[in-house]
Structures are given as C-alpha cells and as structure tokens.
Amino acid sequence: MTKTPSWKKTIMKRGMELMTDPRFSQVMQDERVMKALMAAMQMPGKVESFTAEQKERIAKALGLPTEQEISDMRRTIRRLEEEVARLKK
C-alpha cells in the first residue's frame, strides 16, 4: 500500500476546508476571480504555443529545418525505402 505524503494530505485537507467556507464560495462566484483563474489555466498552453512559434521562426532564420520538416523528410524516406524494397522483389 502506497502512503500519501503528509504535505499532500495537508493540502487536500485545507482544500476541502476551503470548499466548505462560505467566504470562499462568495469569492469564487466573483466574475473577476473566475476570469483570472481561466486566464491562469490557459497560460501554459499560450506559453507553449509561443515558444514553438519562436523556435520555428529562429530555425527558419538560421536556415535550419523545423521539427515538422524533419518529420516530413523521415516519412518520405521511409516511403521511398518501402518502394525500393517492393521494386527489388
């Protein structure tokens, strides 16, 4: 049986206490709080998207192939190898 770390139990317990607190419920009903929470939840995706775009832009500026271009080339090479193997038969 796996033991749950004490810090995790503490956080879960405190979270449950907050959920039953009427003040917490009131704050969570505030539209500004909900908008802020939604923005915070979307942030990792936006950062990932931004860094991917910048990585692609830098690769193109340096004349390097992007991950997508390498993936496409690998797929093409694999198809060509299969075609060569088929033609040898």
Confidence of residue 5 (pLDDT cuts 50, 70, 90): confident
d(CA 23, CA 29): 10
Tens digits of residue pLDDT in 22-74: 888 888 889 999 999 999 999 999 999 999 999 989 998 999 998 889 999 99
pTM value? Answer: 0.48
Is residue 1 situated within a structural domain?
no
Does the pLDDT of residue 1 top 80, yes or no? no
Is residue 2 situated within a structural domain?
no
pLDDT number for residue 17: 87
Is residue 70 situated within a structural domain?
yes
Question: By the 8 A CB rule, do 73 and 65 touch?
Answer: yes
d(CA 29, CA 22): 11
Q: How many domains does the chain have?
A: 1
The residue segments making up the domain with residue 65 are 7-88
